[in-house]
Structures are given as structure tokens and as C-alpha cells.
Structure 1
Amino acid sequence: MGKKLSIRIPNLNHLASKHRTAVATVLFSLPTAKPDRSSTGKSPKWSARAIKSFAMAELEARKLKYPNTGTEALLMGILVEGTSLAASFLELMELDFSRFEMKLPEHPPLTEPAQRALDWAVDQKLKSGENGEITVTHLLLGIWSEKESAGHKILASLGFDDEKAKELSKSMDTDYVPSFQ
């Protein structure tokens, strides 16, 4: 009646170490058109929130079956991620993105403006000379830097402007979301 069930669990340590390596590789890099930016050959790392925002942008693009991941998808990724300073800043502006219809594919390639927005974020981090990660705020301001992009036009039509970008840029190196009470 009181039989014990014994389950043998194999040693999975070898898989765990491979998994950590893969995660580290994914967590610290996003596509770049400029692999050699600095004379040291080192490239700054992306924050976990920025990586998640990018992943959410790609997911939105795939869900909506769009042929590219553009700045508008990057913008949606920031909003979907939702926990960064940049996302909170956009939420405080009470933006209504529901009126914009995006038709976004399976592993969508980046548009040129979206790639330039990512590259802008990396370049700004390198120019700052500060250690740390590239944040979602870098990503949002990279979108804003692409004046002719869909993401920039969406932001502008919803009231984001150079003054707001300047205000947000003061906190570019943090993903900390202050309490706005």
C-alpha cells in the first residue's frame, strides 16, 4: 500500500552551462550595421529591458505579418515591455497608439531606419564614455533621431517633440523608473 515512487533525475549540469553561455550571448547583442565602432574593439552591452523591448518589437512584427521590423515596431516593443523609464515616459504622455494599425513577419529583417536607431543608441553610449548598458531610453531616442521614420512620425503626431527628447535624454543611462506621484 505505501509504495514509494523513485524517479532518477539525470545530471543536467552540462546542459546548464551551455544554456548560460547562450543566454549571455543573446542578452548582450542586438543587430548592428557597424560592428567596429570603437578603437578598443569593445562594444557596450544592451540592458535586459532594451533586449526585451527589441524582442517584443520582433514579436509584434511577426504577429502582424509585416515584412520588416521598423522603428514603429521598435516603438511598440518599448510599450509592450512596459517597465522602462522610456515606456513610463510615453505612458505619462497618455499616448493613444490604438489608432495606428501596424501590419508587422516571421523573423522580420530590420528596416534601414530601425537599424540606424539601434546604431544611434550604441554610438550614444560609446560617446558618453560611461560604463553600463544601453537602455531602452537610448532605443527610444534612437527612434526619435530617425526623422523620416514611421516611429518618429508616430511619436511626433502624438506630441513627443525635441523638448521631450531633451528632457528624457537627461536620464539616458538609467532604466530606473522614478515614482511619479
Structure 2
Amino acid sequence: MQSKAIFFIFVNQTESMSEKRLKRQKIKKKLFSKNRLVILNEDTFEEMFSLRLTLMNVFVVATIGAVLIIFVTTYIIAFTPLREYIPGYASTDLKKKAVELTLKSDSLEQAMKRNNQYVESIKKVLNGDLEYAKLNIDSIIVAEKIDPEAADLQPSENELELRKEVESKTKKN
């Protein structure tokens, strides 16, 4: 009895396999069967345009067209001012204002630091920690505005001698 049941299951599997194969063949036949698209003049029945198509060609052309439309739309939105009308994108005016406000806040922060240094130096003088002669507001401003190009970066004679000394020691080793 068990062999009959197994045989019956095997027969059902082969039938389903052949049914699947038949369905695939029908679908393949429908996809690749040739059809003709004809445009006629309704008054004279003159053939204006004729095109041989398969369903697969229509799917391929439709897919390529959809991808191109998506690509062009994305390109237009990303690289033109139209992106400002989409929620989530900041306008160029808003970006400019943000940059200006950032620069202003940075300069205000630097001014606050200078003022705090000046107040601290005045507190030290009032407490007697510093002499009045050492307090100079210009020195605080100058300390912030050191120009690296104006600084003297030429080595002194002592530095040149030290360099020669180090070079000679490294050559000996």
C-alpha cells in the first residue's frame, strides 16, 4: 500500500510539473507573439503608420521610458531652483542668511572673549595681583590679531649653530 501512495504522489508531481511547463509556454508565447499596431485615416482607411510589436517589446520600452522619466525628474529637482519648492529643501536665501548669522555670531564670540580678558585683567589690577603698567587693552587686541605672515620666521644665529651641531651629531651616529 505504501508503494501505491508514493506512486500516486509521484504522478501528481509530474502532472503539476507539466502544468507549470504548459503555463510557462503559454506565457512565453503571449509575450513573444507578434502583433501589428496600425494607425489608419478614418475617412479614407489609408494606412498612416504601421508597427510590428511583441508584448515583451512594449514592456521593455515602457520600463526604459519610466526609468528615463524618473532620472530626468530627479535631475531637474536636484540641480535647478525647483528644489526650493519641495518640502525639506532649504532655500538659497535661507542658506545665505544662515552663513551671515554664523559669521556674526563668530565675531561676537571673539569680541566677548576680548572683553572677558580685559575685565579679568582689570580685576587682577584691582586685587593687586598685577601692576597697572602691565594692563593694556591694545595688548589684548594685538594678542588676538597675530598675523603669521608678518611674524619673523628667519632663524637666528643661535638656531643656525644648534642646527649645525645636531646635523654633525647625527652624521657621526
TM-score normalised by the chain length of structure 1: 0.19
| Higher RCO (CA-CA < 8 Å; seq separation 6+) | 1
TM-score normalised by the chain length of structure 2: 0.20
Higher-Rg structure is 2
Structure with bigger strand share is 2
